[in-house]
Amino acid sequence: MGSVACGTCGLRDRLEFPVPAHAAPGDRPLSVRSPSGGVLLEVPRASAAGLNGAALKELVTASIGLEAGTKLAFQTDGRTLREDEQLAPLWHGGRAPEVRIILELPWYADLPVLYPDFVKEVSLTDLAIPVAPLEQPRFRLDVHCAGRPTFSALRRKDGDVLISLHRTGGSGMPLVTVTAQCELQSEDGDMVGTIADYVDGSYVLQRGGHQMLLLAPDSEARQMSMLSMSEGRAVEHAVVSHRLKGQLPVEHYQVVVEPSVDSVLVLACFLGLVVCRLAKKPGGTCWTRAEQP
């Protein structure tokens, strides 16, 4: 592992890892990306090709300041990079390879279901959430599906967000509460999970040391992906995109949920992330807001 230690020193000082400005595709560096897609490191082929997956983990852990022992895995070409897998073949076909930090083990095998009646087995679910109310310290908003209000979200004085079925002229059946501490609680008060910081601007829904859902905002693409791992592969469960108009005639977030995934869980994670995490960071809640003229 001596080469790893040397490589780590080089990554801490980028001058030791020069990247030719006009490198041919086959000589381009290995890009190590965060869960949200940002480039964390670029390791020249000469330094990376002799490593395997385990050595790359050690290199990345030391280089980006993660705690020793942090459990990482890397995704490449839609699969998980094995620890004993050599990196050299990643340059096949003259390509410029990349890997993405995708998870911290272990993961739950299945996602929790908060409202079974709204889990669609074969079709996508398309939700729309207005942007403007989310910028207020207290709000009540309707979440639309297929052009009709379907869920309601109420942010109370204590900072908790209550998500319920929409009911005209009154309160509908409560489904889940997102506390000001980013905890998801079922209507019975059971703990579903907690939204915590992860790597490079991404977040994770976790419980008892196990991960359930990775929340990866991408400000450049104006969207956020929700992913988990299953049998060594990343599985996308939902995508949140910023829209000026669409299902709603006002600025809103479009949430597209994959079949067999609970839309209420996705909605709770998104609202929890926006009001409990992003609101406390520079730039406020709306990381995808378009620049105003």
pLDDT tens digits, one per residue of 86-120: 998 888 777 778 888 765 557 787 899 999 998 99
More confident residue, 68 or 31: 31
Write the DSSP assignment of 56-92 as a string of letters. HHHHHHHHTTPPTT---EEEETTEEPPTT-BSGGGGG
pLDDT higher for 189 or 199?
189
Q: Give the pair of three-digit tokens for residue 81.
A: 């990079």
* pLDDT value of residue 205: 93
Residue 205 β-bridge partners: 195, 213
For residues 89 and 37, give the distance between their C-alpha atoms in angstroms, rounded to a whole number.
22
Q: How confident is the model at residue 14 (pLDDT cuts 50, 70, 90)?
A: very low
Q: What is the pLDDT of residue 102?
A: 64
The single-letter DSSP state of residue 289 is P
- For residue 90, give the nearest of 50, 126, 125 by alpha carbon: 50
Q: Per residue in 235-245, pLDDT tens?
A: 889 999 999 88
**CA 213/CA 227 separation, integer angstroms:** 6
This prediction has a pTM of 0.71
Radius of gyration of the chain (CA): 21
Alpha-carbon dihedral of residues 36, 41, 100, 204, nearest 10 degrees?
-40
Could you state, in order of their start, the residue ranges of all structural domains in the chain? 15-104, 116-279
Other beta carbons within 10 Å of 139: 16
Give residue 147's pLDDT.
Answer: 87
CA angle 227, 230, 234 (to 5 degrees): 40
Checking if the pLDDT of 221 tops 80, the result is no
Percent of the chain scoring above 90 in pLDDT? 34
| pLDDT, mean of residues 248-254 | 90
CA distance 44 to 213: 32
What residue type is 132 in one-letter code?
A
CA angle at 269 for the pair 157 and 72, rounded to the nearest 5°: 130
pLDDT digit string, tens, across residues 129-179 = 999 998 888 999 999 998 899 999 999 999 999 999 998 777 789 999 999
Beta bridge partners of 31: 42, 98
Evaluate if residue 188 carries a pLDDT over 60: yes
Instruction: Look over the chain and give the mean of its residue pLDDT values, rounded to a whole number.
Output: 79
142 and 127 Cβ atoms separated by less than 8 Å: no
Q: Are strands 30-33 and 98-103 parallel, antiparallel or unpaired?
A: parallel
Q: CB–CB of 200/35 below 8 Å? A: yes
Task: Return d(Cα 174, Cα 152) in angstroms, integer.
Answer: 9
Higher-pLDDT residue of 201, 126:
126
SS3 164: strand
